[in-house]
Amino acid sequence: MKVLPYAHPVLSCQQAKDLEFSVLTDASAEWSAMQQAGAGIAKSVIEDYQELRSVPEHLRILALIGKGNNGGDALLACGQLLADYPRAQVDLILTSPADELRPLAARALQELEGRVQIRQISEACGLSEISQMLVELGGEIGFHICIDGLLGMSFVPPLRAPVCDLIEAINAFEGIELRASVDLPSGAGDGVEPDALILRADFSYATGIAKKPLFAGWGTCGRVRYVDLGFFKTTPGQVVEAEEAILTDAVLAPLRRLRPANVDKRSFGHLFIVGGSARMPGALLMSVRAAVSSGVGLVTAFAPSSVTAVLAAQVPEAMWISWPETSLGTLSPSGMSLILERIDQATAVIAGPGFGADASTEMVAQEIVKLVECPLLLDADALRVSVLEPVRMRQEAYGRVVLTPHMGEFMRVAKLEEPDYTNDVLLDFSKSHGVVTVLKGPQTRICNGASVIYHTQGGPVLARGGSGDLLTGLIGGMLAQNAHREEEAVAQGLYLHGLAAQCLARVHGQVSVHTTQLLDYLSAVLRT
Ligand SMILES: NC(=O)C1=CN([C@@H]2O[C@H](COP(=O)(O)OP(=O)(O)OC[C@H]3O[C@@H](n4cnc5c(N)ncnc54)[C@H](O)[C@@H]3O)[C@@H](O)[C@H]2O)[C@H](O)CC1
């Protein structure tokens, strides 16, 4: 794939090792990368902890230290946390004698001398002794954060004692609030089977290169964070051997620049949103609210006639068109002329949020696919096999069709009998339909038929009704502003949505929030 300025390659552990070997040519380069990794992990883990509560001054950290560079990264992360939280208490568990650590890990340990408590375990310890030790070390409070620096990309199965016993004990130990793995959860790696023993991480902090096992769908890697160490400072447009990539913060750079002075509302696109039904007016409302916050110049919303006035009062920034509805309160195909007579104003169109699944909305969606000559986003109940049929007939010049299914909707349009998380199915589907698919879930993937880009921001705070409707509005808004660079627009909408969700969770937690609060954090995300 071409190196995009906003997505970095995802590689197998072996490919990552080879690349690191070519980039980090001596011990000083390795040490400097390790320092960056340690600082990056410390910063990210503190941000992530805030989804639980504010970080306590007397932070209690447990770090599991293996012999290699993974252990070195974890030790330097502990050093950074001690610098930032001088009252923190750090307990280290070493799985080998200190004099057996690799040179850089030994150097990192030396830097912590006198500031941490060290326990060493050996093969003879066994699971129950290690479990008992955790209980004693944790005391009444337990640990706020456990940093797993046991094994990284160089791990070759099988796991041996005492590491396997330590992983098992950590997985079972309830006195840890957040489990953070350095690079990969210990036990994960190339060729590792899904049922193998792997440390159950809440977050994995991929240092330098995001490795493929993080996306294997095992659910043990938790949420993936990419700690960019600058390994991919390649020229945009250059080709690298990777079909998979991870989205980076750079995707939002164009939205963080000053806008030119000589612009007006027409310079930032005009988005049409067709959606809603008497039963689900809220879905349309959420998409429209998100769209008007996306930076798009103009939004026109087409809503079922019985709810238009109520919705319009809630988002006066949008223009509202009342659409005739069926006896079931869904959009009637007889309203198509309303959109067609204005279509030359639109730079992108969304169809689907809150549609409801009946024959009328199916027909509306089909007509839109056939007649709309600009980029088009289909979501929710517009995602049907019969609606995708005319997609292939569309001329390339009209702009791409973007689909935003969750797994249930993807199964429907790809005619799958059970969920399939493999990239092959996603690639085949997107290629054969000529669409950009955004397959939503805990690890959302963007696929253009040739490559897959992972998006890992957001988190469980998004696991509530309406998150997808907000996403649709944001992506639609970006498409309308950026009509000739659909994939970039999609990536911008996704990333902005994910970062805002994280901000929301860091301020209010993951539980007692409502979906549209996410919109309050969009501007903070763009102004950092
Ligand atoms: N008020 C209404 O009218 C409602 C209508 N609904 C109908 O459903 C669709 C849209 O569904 P929505 O609830 O927005 O959810 P989606 O599944 O499409 O999108 C979810 C969104 O959240 C992300 N996400 C979820 N879990 C995680 C996680 N663990 N980690 C990270 N990210 C996560 C996911 O990736 C998506 O981005 C609407 O049009 C109506 O037709 C709904 O039933 C809600 C209320």
Q: Measured in angstroms, how far is the CA atom of residue 471 from the centroid of ligand 1?
A: 9
**pLDDT band for position 239 (50/70/90)?**
low
282 touches ligand 1 (CB under 6 Å): yes
**Which residue type sits at 209?**
I
Distance 359 CA to ligand 1 centre (A): 22
Separation between Cα atoms, residue 285 and residue 322, nearest integer Å: 14
Over residues 451-472, the pLDDT tens digits come to: 999 999 999 999 999 999 999 9
Q: How many CB atoms lie within 10 A of CB 474?
A: 29
Q: In the predicted model, is pLDDT for residue 421 greater than 80? A: yes
Is the distance from CB of 8 to CB of 248 less than 8 angstroms? Answer: yes
Residues 6+ apart with CB under 8 A from 520: 504
Question: What's the pLDDT at 483?
Answer: 80
| Of residues 230, 213, 231, the one with CA closest to residue 221 | 213
Is 484 assigned a ligand-binding role in the annotation?
no
Residue 496 has pLDDT above 90, yes or no: yes
> In 10 A of CB 159, how many CB atoms?
21
Other residues' Cβ atoms within 10 Å of the Cβ of residue 363: 17
CA 427/CA 380 separation, integer angstroms: 20
pLDDT at 384: 97
**Mean pLDDT value of segment 109-126:** 95
- Residue 312 and residue 343 in contact, taking contact as beta carbons nearer than 8 Å: no
CB 183 within 8 A of CB 212: no
pLDDT for the residue 54:
97
Across 332-342, average pLDDT: 97
Separation between Cα atoms, residue 219 and residue 356, nearest integer Å: 32
Residue 426 near residue 436 (C-beta atoms within 8 A): no
Write the pLDDT tens digit of every residue in 361-398.
999 999 999 999 999 999 999 999 999 999 989 998 99
Nearest CA-CA partner of 97 in 123, 75, 73, 116: 123
pTM, whole model, 2 decimals? 0.96
287 lines ligand 1 (CB under 6 A): no
Binning pLDDT at 50, 70 and 90, where does residue 484 land? confident
CATH architecture of the domain covering 7-245 = 3-Layer(aba) Sandwich (3.40)
Measured between alpha carbons, how far is 425 from 510 in angstroms, rounded to an integer?
32
Q: Tell whether 283 is in a known binding site.
A: yes
CA-to-CA distance for 438 and 405, rounded, in angstroms?
7
pLDDT of amino acid 238: 60
pLDDT at res. 5: 81
207 is in an annotated binding site: no
Tokens for 15?
A: 């490919």
Q: What is the mean pLDDT of residues 399-404?
A: 97
Backbone angles phi, psi at 247, to 5 degrees: -70, 140
Confidence bin at 217 (pLDDT 50/70/90): confident
pLDDT band at 1 (very low <50, low <70, confident <90, very high): low
| 333 Cβ below 6 A of ligand 1 | no
In this prediction, residue 240 carries a pLDDT of 65
CA distance 303 to 100: 68
Residue 278's pLDDT band, with cuts at 50, 70 and 90, is very high
Radius of gyration of the chain (CA): 25
Alpha-carbon gap, residue 468 to 379, rounded angstroms: 9
Q: Specify the residue with its C-alpha closest to ligand 1, atom 37.
A: 468
Percent of the chain with pLDDT over 70: 98
pLDDT at residue 388, as a whole number? 97
Q: pLDDT over 90 for what percent of the chain?
A: 94
pLDDT at 3 > cutoff 70: no
The highest-confidence range among 22-31, 467-476, 477-486, by mean pLDDT, is: 467-476
Q: How far apart are CA 219 and CA 441, in angstroms?
A: 12
**Confidence band for 434, pLDDT divided at 50, 70 and 90:** very high
First to last CA, the chain: 30
Q: Does 15 appear as a known binding residue? A: no
Per-residue pLDDT for 237 more than 80? no
Sign of the dihedral through C-alpha 355, 357, 363, 367: positive
CA 497/CA 476 separation, integer angstroms:
12
Q: Which amino acid is at 523?
A: S
Strands 244-247 and 298-304: unpaired
Looking at the DSSP bridge assignments, the partners of residue 246 are 8, 454
Side-chain half-sphere exposure of 343, counting CA atoms within 13 A: 20
The residues spanned by each domain of the chain are: 7-245, 267-526
Residue in this structure with the two tokens 């993937």, named with its chain if needed = 445
Query: Over the stretch 135-180, which tens digit does the pLDDT of each residue have?
Result: 999 999 999 999 999 999 999 999 999 999 999 999 999 999 999 9
Instruction: Specify the DSSP element, H or E, that contains 246.
Output: strand 244-247
Contacts of 158-161 spanning 24+ positions with Cβ under 8 A? 159/186, 159/187, 159/196, 159/197, 160/123, 161/123, 161/125, 161/126
Whether the per-residue pLDDT at 4 is higher than 80: the answer is no
Hey, whose CA ends up nearest to atom 20 of ligand 1?
468
Q: Does the 267-526 domain belong in CATH 3.40.50.2300?
A: no
- Find the 421 Cα to ligand 1 centroid distance in Å: 18
Q: Is the pLDDT of residue 241 over 90?
A: no
